[in-house]
Chains A and B, each alone.
Chain A
Amino acid sequence: MTIGADSQVTDLALNDHACLTFCETEELFDLTAAFVRDGLAEGLKVVWVSDAPQRLRQLTERGVAVEPAASTGQMTLVTCESALLTRRAFHADRAMAWLDDQLATLQGESFNGLRVAIDMSWALRPVTGIEQLPAFEADVATALAGSRASVLCQYDRDRFDPVTLASVTSTHNRSVAAATYHHDAVLRICRQYAPPGVRLAGELDHNAAEALNMALQEAIRLDGDMTVNMADLHFIDVASVRTIITAGHSLPAPRIMTLRCTTRVASLFIHLGALDSPRINLVTVHDQ
């Protein structure tokens, strides 16, 4: 099942009730980091409802200043249990009461508005009342009309069944996903939003040369430093390594291309001369 993604996460506006679909945890963290970063920059209050492990560190690593925002109350991390569930039971009205409360609290605060991201992976666990999920999504849409808030519901595209996804997407006014240049069982090439750049996952060889080039060129056209995130890349061929090095080397000073990769992939970049370029910064991430 594919969902036509008509928006980028960076396009979201107030009143939006957006449905975000993602493929991997890495992508969830990336898109959430961009959502949080832009919200904080616009002076909005930001709440992330999720049980994802090490959320704070994940956002901080992607360049979001979470801790200062948390200390002033501008950013809150909430667990699904405390916001949406009552002892493994989901009640749409109680979950709505939590959201209404967030909207009401906003009235007395000086923020420019509210952004809420809700990681829906709790709905994949054994929870009763899950049949009320579409009703909850419809109520959210109603509550947001005329408010100063937006809600981003985050669904794992591979783990939710197509019927559930189809029934909830219709209640959202936008669908959001990472811009994808290549996606099949072996390889995924998509845009990375925080920090900006390209994400490569799986196995990359000359067959994806065109998609790789397009992704790199689009990222280069943006301003500032860029990252090529290869933390989940398990194989890369020589041609692709050279394409990436050439792209990095072509950046005008003082822009830097940071390559995040495993020891194995990093060693190929070293052999092929990545460190000879002052425009390339090679960062090794811990192997899985």
Chain B
Amino acid sequence: MTSDLPRDPTKAAPDPPDSASVRPLLDQEFDDDALYGLRSAVAAHASQAGLPEGRVGDLVTAAHELAANAVVHGPGHGRLRLWKYSEAVHCQISDTGNGAAGAGDPALWGVRPGSGLWLVRRLVDHMNLQTGPYGTIATISITLGPAEPQTEFQIRTERHIHCTVVSMSGELDLKTVPQLVAAIDPIIDAQQPPRLILDLTRLRFWDSSGLAALIATQQRIAALPGGRMVLAGLSAQLLRRLRTVGLADRFTLSASPHQAVAQLGKASD
């Protein structure tokens, strides 16, 4: 996250790429009364730009929280621009400051758990925040996946003596989360104590709903006596995402499902 203080927001703003070929899909001023319309406009354009449903929702929530910040803590109004560039959808929310001596210490922004900005970091792939006496400029980006998913989401359950391995491939997102939940329910009912390995070797991507499903599964299992869950085989990219959003410590991680099986086998001896 960048927290350089811009001298003049009109000049320092990381503008939409400055070329004739990239024009904003949306350029809209907003105030408190316009947030509903702003959300629908962001949803419509993000969807048109090719983001799948779950990620459209992520972008809408992120854009809303940033715009609401400008409305509630900033000058009460601002400007939102949305554009597509280099296989990602970018959205910039800027305001002109409220005349106070800056909008607080930018180093603290987005750190306080449970705040709007804290959640925005979980929802988007990149976030750049600049704030100073001239206002705040937040730029968020969400990467576009391949136009068509290369593989359909698939889920397979394999029972071992001490544990159950659930392997997923494709994308764990708003659409496919119910399949994960449906696969986990019978395991929790059948295996006491539940020891679950989620093999994510062939998982390409998750959106905030997919990530929430992993958190919820982990919490369900951990709440049962002797329950354990391991995330195995995460790609470097997904591992990085997990670290960025501060969740890596929350899960037991394993390099591969084989290692995880051995780990849980040992634990049950």
Once A235-B60, A263-B209, A271-B212 are accepted as A-B contacts, the answer to whether A205 and B119 lie under 8 Å apart by CB is: no
Convert B37-78 into 0s and 1s, putting 1 for each residue whose CB lies closer than 8 angstroms to a CB of A. Answer: 001000000000000001001001100110010001000000
The 8 Å CB contact of A270, one of B32, B178, B212, is B212
**Which residues of B sit under 8 angstroms from A235, Cβ to Cβ?**
39, 60-61, 64
A271 x B122 contact (CB < 8 A): yes
The 8 Å CB contact of B114, one of A203, A272, A284, is A272
Q: Is A207 at the interface (CB under 8 A from chain B)?
A: yes
- For the complex, give the distance between the alpha carbons of A271 and B114 in Å: 8
The 8 Å CB contact of B39, one of A203, A238, A272, is A203
A267 x B68 contact (CB < 8 A): no
B216 x A275 contact (CB < 8 A): yes
**Which residues of A sit under 8 angstroms from B119, Cβ to Cβ?**
238, 268, 271-272
A237 x B213 contact (CB < 8 A): no
Nearest-neighbor residue (CB-CB) of A187 within chain B: B36
The 8 Å CB contact of A238, one of B36, B65, B212, is B65
Give residues 6-46 of B contacting A (CB, 8 Å): 32, 35-36, 39
Q: Is A242 at the interface (CB under 8 A from chain B)?
A: yes
- For the complex, give the distance between the alpha carbons of A220 and B193 in Å: 36
A205 x B208 contact (CB < 8 A): no
Q: Is A127 at the interface (CB under 8 A from chain B)?
A: no
Q: Is B219 at the interface (CB under 8 A from chain A)?
A: yes
Q: Is A88 at the interface (CB under 8 A from chain B)?
A: no
B68 x A264 contact (CB < 8 A): no
B178 x A273 contact (CB < 8 A): no
B116 x A238 contact (CB < 8 A): yes
Nearest-neighbor residue (CB-CB) of A282 within chain B: B216
Interface size on A, residues (CB 8 A): 25
B209 x A205 contact (CB < 8 A): no
**Which residues of A sit under 8 angstroms from B100, Cβ to Cβ?**
none
- What number of residue pairs across chains A and B have CB atoms under 8 A from each other? 74
Q: Is B230 at the interface (CB under 8 A from chain A)?
A: no
Question: A106 to chain B: closest CB distance in Å?
Answer: 46
**Which residues of B sit under 8 angstroms from A287, Cβ to Cβ?**
174
- For the complex, give the distance between the alpha carbons of A276 and B215 in Å: 11
B57 x A264 contact (CB < 8 A): yes
- For the complex, give the distance between the alpha carbons of A276 and B216 in Å: 10
**Which residues of A sit under 8 angstroms from B248, Cβ to Cβ?**
none
A271 x B208 contact (CB < 8 A): yes
Q: Is B231 at the interface (CB under 8 A from chain A)?
A: no
The 8 Å CB contact of B177, one of A203, A263, A268, A271, is A263
B215 x A271 contact (CB < 8 A): yes
- For the complex, give the distance between the alpha carbons of A272 and B114 in Å: 6
Give residues 231-288 of A contacting B (CB, 8 Å): 235, 237-239, 242, 263-264, 266-268, 270-273, 275-276, 282, 284, 286-287
The 8 Å CB contact of A206, one of B54, B72, B181, B219, is B72
The 8 Å CB contact of B68, one of A206, A242, A272, A284, is A206
A267 x B212 contact (CB < 8 A): yes
Once A263-B178, A273-B114 are accepted as A-B contacts, the answer to whether A237 and B65 lie under 8 Å apart by CB is: yes
Question: B47 to chain A: closest CB distance in Å?
Answer: 14
The 8 Å CB contact of A239, one of B54, B116, B208, B215, is B116
- For the complex, give the distance between the alpha carbons of A264 and B123 in Å: 12
Q: Is B244 at the interface (CB under 8 A from chain A)?
A: no
**Which residues of B sit under 8 angstroms from A206, Cβ to Cβ?**
68, 72
Question: A207 to chain B: closest CB distance in Å?
Answer: 7
9 A-B pairs closest in CB distance? A267-B212, A270-B212, A267-B209, A238-B116, A275-B219, A270-B216, A264-B57, A263-B177, A270-B215
Besides A238-B115, A267-B213, 7 more A-B contacts (Cβ < 8 Å) are: A237-B116, A238-B114, A242-B114, A264-B54, A264-B57, A266-B212, A268-B208
Chain A to chain B contacts (Cβ below 8 Å), 10 pairs: A237-B68, A237-B116, A238-B65, A242-B114, A264-B174, A264-B209, A267-B209, A271-B122, A272-B114, A272-B119
